Structure 1
Amino acid sequence: MPSDHDDACLRDAVEPPTQPLFDTRLTPISRLAGLPTLGDHASLLRAVLPGPTPESLTVSETSFFRDACLFEVLHTTILPTLIRLRQPTRRLRIWSAAASTGQEAFSLAILLADLFPQLADWDIRIIGTDISRHAIDYAQRGHFRANEVHRGLVSRILDRYFTHHANEWTVHPRIADLCDFRCANLCAPLPPLPRFDLILLRNVLLYLTPADRTNVLANMHRHLAPDGYLILGASEQAEDSTPLFHAQTIEGTYLYRPAI
C-alpha cells in the first residue's frame, strides 16, 4: 500500500469487494495458499504476524519536500495567508495526517524556520500521525540515512538543519522541537487533537473504501479551522466530502477549504 503514509486500514479486509487494492494483491496469494476468501487470509495473518495486521501490510513511501510545486504554494500563498490570519494569537497548528517516518512534518518545520524567521517566537506545533508504530518510532528518533536525506534535501539545508555522524543525519533540535509524532489510525476513533490551521492528508484516500473516505474527510473537517486548508495528494479528490469542502486551485495545486 504505497503512500506518504498509507493509513488505509485492513479492518474491512473481510469484505473483499470493498477493498480493491487488497483484492488485487492478496487474492492470488490466497488462492495459492488454498484459502477460499480474503477473510480467511486476514484471519490467518492476524494469527501469525507479530503485530497488528494493518501495520504489517503498510509500506511507507515518502521523501523530504515531496512535490516541489506544493511546497512552493505553501511558501508563496498558504503559509503567508495563515500567518496573517493568526497574527493576533501568534499560534499555528499543522497536521501531517499521513506522516510515515516524518519527512513531511520535518519538511514543513524546515520551511517555516528557513523562510519565515518572523515566526521564531510563535507557538507552532506540527503533529504527525501514522498507523505504524515502527514509522512513528523512526520519526521520533529523527535519524535518517544518506539515501533518505538525499531525496529532496540540498546541501545548504543539510548543513543548517541536520548534524552528520557516520552514515546518519540527525534533525537539529530546533526543527525536531516543532514536531510531535503520534500513532493513530485515521479509520478508527482518533486521539485528542487540536483544531488545525493546515492539514496534509496526501496519498491516503485512494486506498480507502468509499465509506472510510467519507468518515476520514468528516474527521478532517471537524479538526480543521473554518479558515484553514486541507491538502490531498495530487491524484486525489474530495468529491465525496460535499458539502463539507469546496476546492480551489492555486498554481495548479488543489486545496480544500471548509464549506460549512
Structure 2
Amino acid sequence: MTDYAEERRSELEVLESIFPNELTVLSDERISVRVEPEVQSERDPHTLNLLVTYTPTYPDEPPELELEVVEGEVSEEEEEFLLQGLRTTAEENLGMVMVYTLALQLKELIAEMLVKRKERIAREDEERYRREEEAVAAKKRGTPVTKESFAVWASKFESEFAEQRRRDEEERLRALPLKEREEAKRWAAKLTGRQLFEQGKVIDSDAAAFGEEGDVAVDISQYERREGAEDDEEDEVDEAAGRLRLADLSDDE
C-alpha cells in the first residue's frame, strides 16, 4: 500500500533544496512556488506563484493547481492557457511526484504566453494600420459625382450663397446712417432698366445710371404714333407742292 504522506514529505525535502528562496510551505497539504520565465524582461517582468494543494492520493491523482500573479499583467484568457498547460502536464505525470516538473513547465508556458501576446499585438497593430490606410485611400478617392448629386450640391450652394449675400446686405445697411439706409431701401425697390423697357418705358440713360429723382419716362407707343403723324404731314406737303406746279402750268398756257 502506497504511503502518500511519506511521498509528499520526501518531495518537499527535495523542493526545499531546489527552491530555497522560491518555495513557501503554507500548510501540510498546500505549498507555493514562485516562478518566472527563463529570460525575464526588464521593461515588462512577469512573476507568478504556483499554488499546489495535495490531494489525498497524490501523486496517483493530480494536485489542485492555482496561479497567483505577483508581477506583471495576465488576462483571464492567458491564465486559463497557463492552467490548461499545467493540467495536461499533471495528467502525463500521474504516479510520480510532479511539483518540480510543473514549476519547470510553468516557466516555459509563461515564455510562450508572452510570445503569443506579442504576436497578437503585432496582428492588431497591422490590422489597425490596414484600416487606417483604407480610410485614407477612401478619403482621397472621395465620393463619385453623379448628375443627381451635383444637382443637389448646386442647389444647396446657390441657396447658401444667396443667404450669405442677404446677410451681407443686411450688415451693410445696418452700418449706414438712417437716412442713407432708407434711400438704399427705396432704390432697391425700384424697377431695373430692363423691367422698365419690358413695360414699354425708357428712362434717360444718364438718369437711369445715377438714379436721380425727376426721371423722364417716355411712352414708346406715343413715340411711334408721333412718327406716323410726321410721315402724314410730309405726304400732305408733297401733295400741296404738286398742286402748285399744276396751277403754274395752267397760267402759262
State the TM bucket, normalised to the shorter chain.
under 0.3
TM norm structure 1: 0.20
Structure of higher RCO (CA pairs closer than 8 Å, 6+ residues apart): 1
TM norm structure 2: 0.20
Who wins on radius of gyration, i.e. which is larger?
2
More helix by share: 2
More strand by share: 1
